[in-house]
A and B are shown apart, each in its own frame.
Chain A
Amino acid sequence: MGAGDPLGMSATHANAAGMGGMRAAGDLVARMQMTQGMRLPAAKQYVADRLGLSPSDLSDAPTMHEVRGELGLGRICYGGAALYPDQPSAMEAKFRIAEVLDVPVNCVERFRANAGV
């Protein structure tokens, strides 16, 4: 994206055009772009197919909140009722993401090797 103050730049781009990261499925689509070099339509379609959704669902935060909870893909935690200590998060969620997307995740592979699991 490029440099700038977080509210004027990052938050603005996120609200104007972003997929929402793990509020929705932006991180999952990003993984297909980064590691597989997929262009956006192909990356969205791949992730949607793996999740049994339509590509437009992937940017919809309420839909993806439920899907991420069901599949253990990690959720945003901001306090109040939105805390999920008994659900997968961070590295645990990335194990699930690698499995659901059927792509290797580097840090997951290394965690698995280092932990002997």
Chain B
Amino acid sequence: MTTEERIPTRLGDGTLLTLTRSEMRADIEAGVEAAAKRSHVPPLTPDETDHLLDICASRARFSSVDLGSEVVLSIDGTGGQLVAGRQGDLLTFEQYLGADIVELYHMDYSFKAVKTVLPFERQSLKNAQQALTVPLQYGAMPDLGRYSRPDGPVANWSELLPLGRIAEARAAQEEAAEMAARDIAFVAEGVWEAGADGIDLDTCGAAGDADLLAALSAARAIRDRCPGMGVEMGMASEMVLGMHGELEWQGVRLAGLWPHQQVKLAAAAGATVFGPAVNVDSTKSLPWNLARTLTLCKPCCEESQIPVHMNVGMGVGGVPMAVRAPVDAVSRAARACVDILNVDGL
């Protein structure tokens, strides 16, 4: 039986557990291996795994980056819209929570839904810009599933695929992607004309490769129509699912892309900020999840030509999937991303 000290850490679902330093090192090595094996990226270096171990094995309640190493925070979906109202939320995050970028959003958080209330959103954004000093972007999701029946006009590919009706399922996704791209660009142009600093396409690829195609097509259209507009593309997961399987952007097949490949397409499409996302395994430890996240995203951060704002919200980027985010784990995730990935923001 080991006499090694047991150190508190977290499971991916946020619950407390204790591990020894040796167990944490083993989890980190396993997380690195899981990422490198799946995505064919290099493992973290020994220095990087040692530093991650030091971050995880501290007994401190809180962890932080070095003075002078701070990064930009783009806070998508700013506020809960329940206590202060939308403009109050934006001001609260600006004045009291140190937000570098705030985001106006509709509770539905879907461009398809927003399109129907765009005049109200535009006016709300204009009013907010009169009161804010920090940059304000508008955010929503491509949310491709909304375009399929019964919620939308297109055949439901999730029903067609199990029936083996592959060609019809693919055609439906292609039609939906065109509709989504048009809606996103329409909303973006509308809020740009009302004074937005940027647009946030959040959870790109959530419905697979056609979802990402819609976002890339929209980003291209936004860049053409609104040249000065910030365009943040945040991903839904580490690998693009091939729900269609044959879709391409500028000759690159979208299905199966990893963060370092995704970021190049985002930049080529006109995005000015890219947000990689790595989903947490809620049955694994914080050290395992952080190691896997960092390994998957390191080539992305090294190779990117545009700022990388790592997604470190609930259930992504090593942050536990817990409604009440434990600050010990959240702060460790933030520090690890800054120290080891050299991210441009979170």
Contact = CB atoms under 8 A, between A and B. Distances in A.
Interface of A: 1-23, 26-27, 29-31, 33-40, 43, 55-56, 59, 73-74, 76-78, 89-91, 93-94, 97, 104-107, 110-111
B195 A40 contact: no
Contact of B346 (A11, A17, A55, A93): A17
Given A34-B137, A107-B197, A8 B93 contact: no
Interface residues of B, number: 79
Nearest to B314: A4
Contacts of A15: 62, 64, 98, 331
A35 B228 contact: yes
Contacts of B93: 6, 10, 21
Contacts of A93: 133
A1 B73 contact: yes
Interface stretch (B25-33, B158-166, B322-330): B322-330
B16 interface: no
A13 B134 contact: no
B319 interface: yes
A21 B330 CA distance: 19
Contacts of A59: 67-68, 70
Nearest to B338: A17
Contact of B334 (A16, A35, A77, A91): A16
24 contacts: A2-B311, A3-B76, A4-B313, A6-B79, A12-B62, A13-B346, A16-B62, A16-B65, A17-B70, A17-B335, A18-B73, A18-B98, A19-B98, A20-B100, A21-B73, A33-B273, A33-B345, A34-B198, A35-B272, A36-B272, A40-B71, A90-B133, A104-B228, A107-B136
Interface of B: 62-65, 67-77, 79-80, 93-101, 126, 129-137, 192-198, 228-230, 232, 267, 272-273, 277, 304-307, 309, 311-314, 316-317, 319, 323-327, 330-331, 334-335, 337-338, 342-346
Q: Which 4 residue pairs of A and B lie closest in terms of their CB atoms, listed nearest first? A: A2-B313, A34-B230, A8-B325, A107-B195
B99 A21 contact: yes
B130 A91 contact: yes
A30 B242 CA distance: 34
A10 to B, nearest CB: 5
A23 B345 contact: no
Contacts of A8: 324-327, 330
Contacts of A76: 95
Contacts of A2: 76, 277, 311-314, 316-317, 319
A73 B267 CA distance: 30
Contacts of A19: 70-73, 98, 100
Contact of A16 (B97, B132, B335): B335
A27 B304 CA distance: 22
A31 B273 CA distance: 11
Contacts of B335: 16-17
B135 A1 contact: no
A30 B132 CA distance: 14
A104 B228 CA distance: 8
Contacts of B198: 34-35
Given A15-B64, A40-B72, A91-B130, 8 more contacts: A12-B327, A12-B334, A16-B331, A27-B134, A40-B343, A43-B307, A106-B228, A110-B193
A91 B277 CA distance: 34
Contacts of A21: 73, 93-94, 97-100, 134
Nearest to A17: B334
A1 B345 CA distance: 8
A106 B192 CA distance: 8
A21 B75 CA distance: 11
A61 to B, nearest CB: 9
A9 B321 CA distance: 12
B133 A74 contact: yes
Contacts of A43: 72, 307, 344
Contacts of B98: 11, 14-15, 18-21, 23, 26
